[in-house]
Amino acid sequence: MVTFRILDVIYIIALRIGTEMTKKHFSSIFHKFFSSFDKVYNEKGELQELDDIAGPFKEQAFFEMRDTFSFEMAFLAYIPLCKLTGRNYMEKTLKNDDFIRQLCIQSSLSKNDAAVSSPQIAHRRDRSLGQDESFVSGIFGKNVVVIGNRLDVRLGDDNHTLFSTSPNGDKPALKCDMNLIKRKMDDSQRHLKGNWLAYWEHETGRSDKDQHFDFKQIKLQTFIGHTGTVRGIEILDNENSFITCSKDKTVKLWSLRSWGDGSAQSPSQWTYTHHRKSVFALSFLDSLRLVGSCDGTVHIWDPFLGSCIKQLEPTKGSPVTVLAAMPSPSMSFLAATTNSTVRFLDARTCRYMHEFKVNVGTTGLIRSLSVSPNGNWLAVGHSTGMLSVLDVRTGLVFGTWLGHEGEVLQLKAFNNTSFLTSSLDQSLTVWKFEDAQAKCHLKGPMEPVTCICFYGNEVISGTSGNRIGLHSSTDKAAVYSSSRLRSDTFKGILTTMALLPLNRLLLLGTDNGNVVLLC
């Protein structure tokens, strides 16, 4: 009975994740399971002898394996998996594929003549399936029904109760109430419909070679809960959750679910309420899975447990203006202060370890900073339009120069050799980190770019005029296209933006406190 239930679980998971993911992750499981038949039968499909078995426990275990791994078990396990994954896959995965197929053939023969020539097999089948086959999967996989995009398990009993054989073996005993553990979701929320259906139809119809970001401006969901301007959005590593910070002095955790018709409004899952001022910076430290948020005071907390670990008050005369996380495997946050200093905050000890002075001139406040993907260098943008690049390992400044005629709005490291900046002077520029020369100026946006994201080699930008732009590359030959956000899909002024690259979705924060999910 236990083996049949394990097969049910494997098959249900395989149906849910699909053929390709099953082939990728379940090969070793299939191999180990079907190799068990080699220990019970010889090459001719006959039961092994017990001559080499010593001790009562080994002998008992062998007889239990004989009762479990029968011809019928081979048939019920192999055929559905073969239909799901394909004959060629099973041949490559199972070293004993031909042998398992022979057992399946013998199972079919034994079923046709069970009453006369195979009483032992019929007895094994009765023992495997228990007293009442209606409460066990039996022919595994046949109790699973696909309804819409949901898998439904049919137990075959109106009361939805699960029985097991009582200790004396004479009658079934109540084991648990399935109503308490099934917890079916409402079909009206779970099934794809409306804009979500249009989105997935478009995604599944795309070629695997099509790696371009295609912004169709389809509204999928709205997240409500903030009462002030959304200042930052941070996607967690699984892309099923994200966090936001706002002027309303809170940081909220949200869950992404593909339900609704595009007009659905989702509340937050949890709210961090320990800030006393407007929260303007937010970052997720991947190596320790901790969040850093800042309102002048840096807060380090666990988004999964909802617990505050440490609050670090700013030193006198130098409050924190920007907070960012170092890339993995580093365990440090970067905190930029008003006196043009970048301080390294160790999240393990919650203490500032060392600091780098960016420059000694009148460069203004640090407005943005970004670390290269390899964690070797740091680029800093100032309120005066000045740019600085320094070596994270030594603290030496590679250079400081005037990059823009207006305040630097955004600065993002593109790869290990270059970074992008945007400014109030309406320019979008690509720089090489090793020198003070611009690699190129990206043409297109005629408004200040307040948001920058990367998708592969493409640059996605958001402007103060609610325009989403796309540059095909970061060189002079880049092709630019843009579209203004429509009033029926986006209300308010765009303040921040984050990209979900796996599903090619955009999260847009607004000045009215809402976050909108678009594709």
Range scoring the smallest mean pLDDT among 29-38, 226-235, 342-351, 414-423: 29-38
The residue range of the domain holding 348 is: 194-201+211-518
Confidence band (pLDDT; 50, 70, 90) for 332?
very high
Cβ atoms of residues 336 and 280 within 8 Å: no
Q: Which two tokens stand for residue 207?
A: 């070629």
- Looking at residue 72, what DSSP letter applies? H
CATH number at residue 391: 2.130.10.10
pLDDT the model gives residue 164: 41
As to burial, measured by CB atoms within 10 angstroms (0-12 exposed, 13-18 middle, 19+ buried), residue 456 is exposed
Are residue 103 and residue 216 in the same domain, yes or no? Answer: no
Confidence band (pLDDT; 50, 70, 90) for 128?
very low
What mean pLDDT is predicted for residues 96-117? 69
Cβ atoms of residues 229 and 245 within 8 Å: no
Is 129 part of a structural domain of the chain? no
Confidence band (pLDDT; 50, 70, 90) for 186?
very low
pLDDT of 129 above 50: no
Alpha-carbon Rg for the chain, nearest whole angstrom, is 31
Is 332 part of a structural domain of the chain? yes
pLDDT of 123 above 50: no
Are residue 102 and residue 218 in the same domain, yes or no? Answer: no
pLDDT in tens, 203-253: 665 666 667 888 888 888 899 999 999 999 999 877 788 999 999 999 999
Average pLDDT, the chain: 79
d(C-alpha 514, C-alpha 226), whole Å: 6
What mean pLDDT is predicted for residues 427-436? 88
Are residue 343 and residue 231 in the same domain, yes or no? Answer: yes
Residue with the bigger pLDDT between 39 and 171: it is: 39
Q: Where is mean pLDDT largest: 49-58, 80-89, 455-464?
A: 455-464
Question: What percent of the residues of the chain are helix, what percent strand, and what percent coil, each to the nearest 5?
Answer: 25, 35, 40
Does residue 245 sit in helix, strand or coil?
Answer: strand
d(C-alpha 183, C-alpha 433), whole Å: 54
pLDDT the model gives residue 97: 87
- Structurally, the chain folds into a number of domains equal to 2
Is 115 part of a structural domain of the chain? no
Task: Spell out where 240-392 has E strands.
Answer: 241-246, 251-255, 265-266, 270-272, 281-285, 290-294, 298-302, 307-312, 320-325, 332-337, 341-346, 351-357, 366-371, 377-382, 386-391
pLDDT the model gives residue 247: 95
pLDDT in tens, 400-425: 899 999 999 999 999 999 999 999 99
Is 362 part of a structural domain of the chain? yes
pLDDT the model gives residue 275: 93
Is 446 part of a structural domain of the chain? yes
pLDDT the model gives residue 282: 93
Is 163 part of a structural domain of the chain? no
d(C-alpha 232, C-alpha 230), whole Å: 6
d(C-alpha 297, C-alpha 231), whole Å: 16
pLDDT of 165 above 50: no
Are residue 489 and residue 356 in the same domain, yes or no? Answer: yes
Q: Which two tokens stand for residue 26?
A: 């379940």
Are residue 492 and residue 379 in the same domain, yes or no? Answer: yes
pLDDT the model gives residue 507: 94
Residue 335's φ and ψ, nearest 5 degrees, are -120, 115
Is 139 part of a structural domain of the chain? no
Range scoring the smallest mean pLDDT among 55-64, 291-300, 367-376, 426-435: 55-64
For residue 143, how far is the Cα from the chain centroid? 30
pLDDT of 69 above 50: yes
Are residue 482 and residue 345 in the same domain, yes or no? Answer: yes
Cβ atoms of residues 499 and 506 within 8 Å: yes
Choose one of 107, 123, 148: the last residue of a domain: 107
Residue 71, C-beta contacts closer than 8 angstroms, at least 6 positions apart: 103, 104, 106, 107, 110, 121
Choose one of 86, 107, 128: the last residue of a domain: 107
For residue 290, how far is the Cα from the chain centroid? 16
Query: Alpha helix locations (H) across 133-212?
Result: 179-182, 187-190, 194-204
Is 509 part of a structural domain of the chain? yes
CB count within 10 Å of CB 453 equals 20
